[in-house]
Structure 1
Amino acid sequence: MVDNWEVKRELADAINDHDVHRMLDLFTENAVFVSPVGLAEGRDEIVWIFEQFFKGFPDLRLTVWYEATGTDNPLVVEWTGTGTHTGPFLLPDGQVLEATGRRIALRGTCASFVENGKIATHREYFDQLELYTQLGLHLSRDDPAPV
């Protein structure tokens, strides 16, 4: 029998190693990933999202500082992600933010549902505005919608 927490911890290790092949093996074929950057369905789409972060932040590192070990499903952790923006980073509107050299420290949490030793659903929660502000981006008001 697979320990669900071993699977969850292996995901954090694979993320820190930027090992997308190992990540692929940790998700079910039709896994669902939900995060502030969007919805991904299936392993290939999930890994693609992580690859965007790895390209933009080649030194990206997650530090898990809390595990809610009182439950087996979902598996919930809190983490801090740190890195330096030295590569191209895809923004939600499809534009690419070229390297700024800025450091980020982003707090977040995630919940994973593990089925038969693989992650079937993974939900990430972090403050996108916190991330974009650290990258030097600012909110702007769009033109008002027509009445």
Structure 2
Amino acid sequence: MADVVDRYFSAYNAHDLDAVMRCYCAKPVAVGPGGPAEGRSEVASYHTGIWQAFPDVHATVLQKVADGGITAVAAVGTGRHTGPFAITTGEVLGATGRYVSVRCCWFFGTEGGLIVDQQVFYDQLELYLQLGLPPGRPGA
């Protein structure tokens, strides 16, 4: 159902963790470039980590396509990097103060009006270059 995805993005952009988590089922799975988050506490931790790294992060939905229990969303995520950010090498990047604008795509699986699984894809090279990381060694 696309309605829960709309609620998700509204809550995400408000940085309202309680409202975000009300969009998920009891045992959600979320997968992104940093790996999987399984269960409500890991999914909640993922969101708080993003909001700590980018306190003003905002996702602008460009396109949404729903087919049964699957919803795909193309968006642009923007924000200023002012807190610690765990990159995919496992390292934590300190605040750079840089503003980023990154294209991303989400796939949501829903059942009973709740998100059961979510996958997010974004151009990591685009993000890392905007954060000032060298293209050959993201953590260097």
| Global fold match (TM > 0.5) | yes
- Alignment partner, residue 32 of structure 1: 29
- Alignment partner, residue 80 of structure 1: 76
What percent of counterpart residues are identical? 36
TM-score between the two structures when normalised by the length of structure 1: 0.87
Say if 2:11 is the partner of 1:21.
no
- Alignment partner, residue 130 of structure 1: 126
Aligned residue for 2:8, secondary structure, equals helix
Aligned residue for 1:47, secondary structure, equals helix
Is contact 1:26–1:119 with CA below 8 Å preserved after alignment? yes
Out of 45, 52, 56, which is 2:53 matched to? Answer: 56
Is contact 2:31–2:119 with CA below 8 Å preserved after alignment? yes
- CA deviations on 1:81-116 (whole Å, 9 max, x unpaired) are 000011121223443211111010010111111111
Is contact 1:24–1:44 with CA below 8 Å preserved after alignment? no
- Alignment partner, residue 44 of structure 1: 41
Aligned residue for 2:22, secondary structure, equals helix
- Alignment partner, residue 4 of structure 2: 7
The whole-number CA distance in structure 1 between the counterparts of 2:49 and 2:125 is 18
TM-score between the two structures when normalised by the length of structure 2: 0.91
- Alignment partner, residue 112 of structure 1: 108
1:63-102 matched pairs, under 5 angstroms: 63-69=60-66, 71-102=67-98
Is contact 2:33–2:88 with CA below 8 Å preserved after alignment? no
Q: Unaligned stretches of 5+ in structure 2?
A: none
Question: Rg bigger for which structure?
Answer: 1
